[in-house]
Amino acid sequence: MPGDFEDMQFVVLSGPSGSGKTTIVERLLAESPVKLVKSVSATTRPARKNEVEGVNYYFLTPDEFAARRTRGEFLESAEVHGTGNWYGTLQSEIARAQREGGWALLEIDVQGGRQIIERFPQALSIFLQTSSETEYERRLRGRGTEAEEIIQRRLANARNELSQARKYRFQVVNDDLDQAVREIVHIISNWEAQRHA
Ligand code: ADP
Ligand code: 5GP
């Protein structure tokens, strides 16, 4: 039940595709001053080459996803990027973070972010962006994991996501990766200090 997570601390990281979320999550898992447990999301999108079930995502069929959603197993869920693909955070992942004694780290889109921020006022929400809009395209092409049509859809969606940035407690610019990581580490340290003040 959601109420069971009232004392849980969440870090919610959102930002347009190409803003550097995945890269920064890896760095934070190693460098955060507070133990973070990455929530593994469920999705109906097909696995990419090199993606591993239960590590990158839980890959569900649309029917499985819908059934689990109806059963109330998700803390948040959304259809992302207008692809018809659903993504969501399973309550069982938050329970796992709680068992492991860390803060749950959620790398989710702005629709899911809004659901978590509204439900858990204590959530530490961070919106990641770059200072130049053309940089998203450059990075997505550089990453080379999506087809052209998907890149175009994600770029179109970036504008909508950017309009939600101010709903997050912190906005971090990821132009220089090391600097962005340092800034987030600092935000986490301050947040932890405030909780004990
Ligand atoms: P997201 O998960 O938000 O879609 P990624 O973490 O996959 O973004 O980053 C997209 C691409 O940009 C990757 O190839 C990554 O290596 C690169 N990247 C991430 N941060 C930076 C940065 N500060 N400067 C340049 N390239 C970056
Ligand atoms: P990708 O398909 O590139 O792995 O992820 C696409 C988008 O889905 C990203 O913006 C990512 O933040 C978002 N996403 C991943 N997991 C979740 C989730 O559990 N919930 C929501 N709402 N979005 C998610």
Residues in the chain: 197
pTM: 0.95
Taking the domains of the chain in order of start, what are their residue ranges? Answer: 3-195
Ligand 1 center–CA 151 separation, angstroms:
14
Identify which has the larger pLDDT, 84 or 58: 58
Tokens 């006022």 belong to 121
Nearest partner of 57 among 86, 18, 82, judged by Cα: 86
Burial label for 11, CB within 10 Å (0-12, 13-18, 19+), is buried
Q: Cβ(15) to ligand 1 under 6 A?
A: yes
Q: Is the predicted pLDDT of residue 112 greater than 60, yes or no? A: yes
Model pLDDT, residue 7:
87
Interval 106-119 mean pLDDT: 96
Q: Cβ(139) to ligand 1 under 6 A?
A: yes
Whether 174 and 128 have beta carbons less than 8 Å apart is answered as yes
Convert the pLDDT of each residue in 2-55 to its tens digit. 457 888 999 999 999 999 999 999 999 999 999 999 999 999 999 988 899 999
Mutating to test ligand 1, I would choose from 134, 139, 175, 177 the residue with most ligand atoms within 8 A of its C-beta, which is 139
Mutating to test ligand 2, I would choose from 14, 109, 115 the residue with most ligand atoms within 8 A of its C-beta, which is 109
Q: Is the predicted pLDDT of residue 196 greater than 70, yes or no? A: yes
Second-level CATH architecture of 3-195: 3-Layer(aba) Sandwich (3.40)
Interval 127-143 mean pLDDT: 94
Mean pLDDT estimate for the chain: 94
Q: Cβ(107) to ligand 2 under 6 A?
A: yes
